[in-house]
Amino acid sequence: MARVLITGAAGNLGSKLVAHWRAGGTHELVLLDRAGGADVISADISVFGADWAGRFAGIDVVVHLAGQISPGSKWEQVQPANVVGTANVLRAAREAGVPRVVFASTNQVMGGYRFRSERIGSASSPLPLNPYAVSKLMGEEMGRAFAAETGDDFIAFRIGNIWPGTNLPGPDLGIGSWGQEMWLSNRDFLHGMDCAVVAPKVGFGIFNLVSDNPGMRWDIEPARRILGYEPQDGNAPVYTPEVIAEDERARKAVLVPGTWLDQHSRLLDI
């Protein structure tokens, strides 16, 4: 049994993960979230504080899910939550000697590949198109430095589309074929996190975390090989007239952060 600390424990991903691990009795959990709660420690990670950082003592794995999650966010929203916040979490992990950090990055880091043809792998050059994606890319690079400095593990998951609740796939979400290609089922998300906790020594690694969707360009072989990830779900994109129209609108759009993305807020991935 690992002792696992989760930031953002009350969010979409956090609440699913907490319920999963509690049901299985798999790990001892320490829960942090800005909102706090009956069994959740209130923590604003954008401000380093000994009150919450002290909770990292004796932790085996930090799962860092907290942050500003909207692709339509402006820089002044993502900078404190995603850049400073991640730096503070890594500082707390470093000072406490935590041997592994699992980081919720995003498919948005690779958003510029939408209308290209090549396979999207961990070594593909990042192509972020908005401040949110840039902030997550910065988190990945801070993790690279963390692993190099400490010799500890940093696992960055570029997480696909996973909606609150039952999270069923389909063409009626207003996300076009690109969004459908990166669907991540609840079951595969939870399995991926299970793998990240128990995997052998990794060092630094970036992994696509999506379901096994037919026809997708996201390469999940490194996650299979290194982490033991074996997704059970997958769904091929459905090309309705609405999906085709959404793809065409996106192809023609001029991506101005805070405008076009604000009007397409259903492109949330986490």
Q: What is the pLDDT of residue 253?
A: 79
**What's domain 3-267's architecture?**
3-Layer(aba) Sandwich (3.40)
Specify the pLDDT at position 258. 44
Q: What is the per-residue pLDDT for 260?
A: 40
User: Contact 20/58 with Cβ under 8 angstroms?
Assistant: no
Q: What is the pLDDT of residues 252-267, one digit of tens each?
A: 875 554 444 444 444 4
Decide: 2 and 197 in contact? Cβ < 8 Å: yes
Task: Compute the average pLDDT of residues 221-225.
Answer: 98
Average pLDDT over residues 207-218: 97
pLDDT (0 to 100) of residue 254: 57
Q: Average pLDDT of 237-253?
A: 92
Spatial contact of 156 and 207, defined as CB atoms under 8 Å apart: yes
Cβ neighbour number for residue 223 with a 10 Å cutoff: 27
Q: Does position 60 have pLDDT exceeding 70, yes or no?
A: yes
Q: What angle do CA 151, 157, 163 make, to 5 degrees?
A: 155
The tokens of 83 are what?
A: 């850049």
Q: How far apart are CA 188 and CA 131, in angstroms?
A: 27
DSSP string, 214-226: TT--B--HHIIII
The 3 state secondary structure assigned to 65-126 is CCCCCCCCCCHHHHHHHHHHHHHHHHHHHHHHCCCEEEEEEEHHHHHHHCCCCCCECCCCCC
Those residues whose C-beta lies under 8 Å from the C-beta of residue 145, and which sit 6 or more positions away, are: none
- Confirm if 154 and 147 have CB atoms less than 8 A apart: yes
Q: What is the pLDDT, as a whole number, of residue 37?
A: 85
pLDDT at 223 over 60: yes
- The residue extents of the domains of the chain are 3-267
For the segment 73-77, the average pLDDT, to the nearest whole number, is: 95
Strand ranges (DSSP E) for the chain?
Answer: 3-7, 28-33, 41-42, 61-64, 100-106, 153-159, 204-209
Question: With pLDDT > 70 as the criterion, what percentage of the chain qualifies?
Answer: 94
pLDDT at residue 268 above 70?
A: no
Residue 9 reports pLDDT greater than 70: yes
Question: 109-113, 172-176, 243-247 — which is least confidently predicted?
Answer: 172-176
Nearest-10 Cα torsion for 91, 192, 208, 106? -50
Examine the pLDDT at 38 and tell me if it is beyond 90: no
pLDDT in tens, 120-150: 999 999 999 999 999 999 999 999 999 999 9
Calculate mean pLDDT across residues 226-251: 95
For position 255, what pLDDT does the model report? Answer: 57
How far is CA 24 from each of CA 27, 178, 200, rounded to the nearest angstrom?
8, 34, 21
pLDDT in tens, 115-126: 999 999 999 999
| Distance in angstroms (rounded) separating the CA atoms of residues 20 and 227 | 19
Q: Number of helices and strands (H, E) in the chain?
A: 10, 7
Neighbouring C-alpha atoms within 13 Å toward the C-beta of 183: 26
Q: Which residue has the tokens 């404190």?
A: 80
Our measurement of the distance from residue 6's CA atom to the centroid of its chain's CA atoms, rounded to an integer in Å, reads 13
- pLDDT, one tens digit per residue, over 174-191 is 889 999 999 999 999 999
